[in-house]
Amino acid sequence: MTAHNELHRELQKQFDPTGLSRFTSTAQEARKAEDVESLLLDEEQRGRIPFTREDFVIREDPRRVEWEREVRKFLSRLNHDYGHRVTAPMIYEWATGVSLADLAAAEGVDPDNWRGGARWGSANVHLRHINWVLKEYFGKSYKTTIMGRPVGRAYTVRPQFRVQKKRPANITLLAEWSEGTLKP
């Protein structure tokens, strides 16, 4: 065994990594672009590589992105010591200061004869975006009652939930979140 190790060491001593060439050729070494090399930063000084994955190259609805920001603001203000049940109308009314019942009445939506989900009139498009964000954060919605009133689509926010640690559902916000600049 020691004879094998000695032979191995002898062969390693003969190895010269500086004299290696990929090709046996008499051609000269390729010229270098010194002007480019003078522009480049050292590897240690370079920033992070930008987001280039193919699934990041999408165009998102700016309303959905803005509603996710508002949902995150709402969730950040909840008391973390307790669990909560939240709905899209709660967040819409909190963020806009407009009562959905008053909006539907002002737009002439008949509360007994609304069709196709147009219960809240022009606010429906915004409620869909809010519900999408809530579903991405908390999973499936369910029917429940809050303070004795039935609600259609509620989501459970568990105790100790921190929205700052939750990855955003919209790719547009991902860069801000990963850098720690997404507020909240």
Instruction: Tell whether 6 is covered by a domain.
Output: no
Give pLDDT, residue 152.
Answer: 84
By C-alpha distance, which of 96, 76, 94 is closest to 84? 76
CA–CA separation, 1 and 126 (whole Å): 77
Instruction: Tell whether 31 is covered by a domain.
Output: no
Instruction: Tell whether 11 is covered by a domain.
Output: no
For residue range 13-27, list pLDDT tens digits in order.
Answer: 776 666 666 666 676
Instruction: Tell whether 42 is covered by a domain.
Output: no
Give pLDDT, residue 118.
Answer: 65
Residues 139, 133: contact at Cβ < 8 Å? no
Instruction: Tell whether 134 is covered by a domain.
Output: yes
Share of the chain above pLDDT 90, in %: 40
Write out the residue range of the structural domain in which residue 164 sits.
62-179
Please enumerate in sequence order all residues whose Cβ is within 8 A of that of 182, keeping only pairs 6 or more positions apart, or say none.
72, 168, 173, 176
By C-alpha distance, which of 138, 8, 140 is closest to 75? 138
> What tokens were used for 117?
């989900």
Instruction: Tell whether 172 is covered by a domain.
Output: yes
The rounded mean pLDDT for the chain is 84
Q: Grade residue 39 by pLDDT with cuts at 50, 70 and 90.
A: confident
What does the pLDDT average to over 52-73?
A: 83
Report how many domains make up the chain.
1
pLDDT at residue 78 greater than cutoff 60:
yes
pLDDT at residue 37 greater than cutoff 70:
yes
Instruction: Tell whether 175 is covered by a domain.
Output: yes
Q: What is the DSSP letter of 28?
A: P
Instruction: Tell whether 47 is covered by a domain.
Output: no
